[in-house]
A and B are shown apart, each in its own frame.
Chain A
């Protein structure tokens, strides 16, 4: 197709009236960087977007906004039976929870483990201190050792705290990544729904054409 041929299809493309083959050809042409066709497309798209402003104005029911506001907080699983087609099998399921466990229990259990390690060290230090208490002559040396051990325990605690911070940062990044992936998934899902609709159209058209050709003598 020549540039002129493609340019003529722009208005039809803007109102969604182009067949798939022509649409793909024009999309490739637009992606190739043709400035005049891109400009024309933007303007024709603005025309298409303006069309509904000429319609009879039908205000939505007053209760609709409240209904939407309420529906936002409902869990998607509760709506699944009512709209089976809106939640196809691409929806992430329970298995996701195994890959990305909830934040609070994970953080709590790690903090608990850290606390237990710290308490254990303290008990050990107290036990050693109690063992060495009768020998007064060794007190100074023992105190020095204890001080060393306390320092070591403090260093260990600092290291563990750093690890905890790193884990939390990692968890935050993982959560953000999950969020991004979920959004990408949602987009893909939307595209899939549209492609399926297009496929259905094409099938219907093929069926119709088949029917016409079959009925011709």
Chain B
């Protein structure tokens, strides 16, 4: 394997994810090592609490070990599978928390400043981070905000429109435009990655 991909969360070997769910201690440990930083960062962003984020990760990995959730190659990459599960569980927890946590104006990423704190250990993850951070920072604030509210708080466009006091059509158009710009940037990155 390419050394730059060795510890990358974005390049977890599907075999590692499959073996981790079949009682392979080494694979399980590797899956955790490669994915836990980005998963924990996501859970903290959604929940705003390190303690709760740690509980989400613990439940998730224990479920992986006990086969309560299974990795299926047909459903995408291992990190896509883990991120979807983490997001879904963290948002479920956010919705059921009493009182529900609201962080309308809080954003833990610094995309609007064009900077993001910290670096991934893996060059591959860091390259992806640079592309996505730069593109997010270049998006108009309204687009970025609509995407973040949808993705990190699980709000529907109607809820985003209510929260931001904006027309629904404007919100959906902003999400579409923002996502399309991110897609274009990633297209270029994927092409470069392929040729490399």
A→B interface (CB under 8 Å): 8, 11-12, 14-19, 43-61, 64-65, 67-69, 71-72, 76, 83, 85-86, 182-183, 186-187, 189-190, 193-194, 197, 200-201, 205
B→A interface (CB under 8 Å): 9-10, 28-29, 32-33, 36-42, 44-45, 50, 53-54, 57-59, 61-63, 65-70, 76-77, 79-80, 83-84, 87-88, 92, 95-96, 108-111, 116-120, 125, 128-129, 131-133, 136, 147, 150-151, 154-158, 160, 172, 175-176, 179-180, 182-183, 186-187, 190
Check if B186 sits within 8 Å of A17, measured CB to CB. Answer: no
In the bound assembly, the distance between CA atoms of A50 and B182 in angstroms comes to 9
> CB-nearest residue of chain B relative to A182?
B67
In the bound assembly, the distance between CA atoms of A45 and B83 in angstroms comes to 11
Q: Known contacts A15-B175, A58-B50; decide if A53 and B58 are in contact (CB<8 Å).
A: no
With both chains docked as a complex, state the minimum distance between the C-beta of A216 and any C-beta of chain B, in angstroms: 15
In the bound assembly, the distance between CA atoms of A64 and B58 in angstroms comes to 7
Which residues of chain A are near B172, meaning CB under 8 Å? 12
* Most chain B CB inside 10 Å of its own CB: which residue of A52, A85, A205: A52
Q: Known contacts A43-B183, A65-B32, A72-B66; decide if A57 and B175 are in contact (CB<8 Å).
A: no
> CB-nearest residue of chain A relative to B152?
A51
Name A51's contact: one of B58, B110, B151 (CB within 8 Å): B151
Check if B79 sits within 8 Å of A55, measured CB to CB. Answer: no
User: What are the 7 closest A-B residue pairs judged by CB atoms, nearest first?
Assistant: A57-B118, A11-B179, A17-B150, A60-B40, A52-B42, A56-B117, A54-B133
In the bound assembly, the distance between CA atoms of A198 and B150 in angstroms comes to 15
Check if B156 sits within 8 Å of A53, measured CB to CB. Answer: no
Q: Count A-B contacts at CB 8 Å.
A: 180
Q: Known contacts A86-B59, A187-B70; decide if A14 and B108 are in contact (CB<8 Å).
A: no
In the bound assembly, the distance between CA atoms of A55 and B151 in angstroms comes to 12
Check if A16 sits within 8 Å of B119, measured CB to CB. Answer: no
Secondary structure at the B interface, as helix, strand, loop or mixed, is: helix
Check if A183 sits within 8 Å of B132, measured CB to CB. Answer: no
Which residues of chain B are near A17, meaning CB under 8 Å? 150-151, 155-157, 160, 175
Check if A58 sits within 8 Å of B66, measured CB to CB. Answer: no
> CB-nearest residue of chain B relative to A63?
B54
Check if A55 sits within 8 Å of B176, measured CB to CB. Answer: no
Name B118's contact: one of A19, A49, A56, A193 (CB within 8 Å): A56
> CB-nearest residue of chain A relative to B82?
A49
Name B57's contact: one of A44, A68, A182, A193 (CB within 8 Å): A68
Name B65's contact: one of A18, A59, A72 (CB within 8 Å): A72
Q: Known contacts A17-B150, A56-B109; decide if A68 and B176 are in contact (CB<8 Å).
A: no
> CB-nearest residue of chain B relative to A19?
B156
> CB-nearest residue of chain B relative to A8?
B176
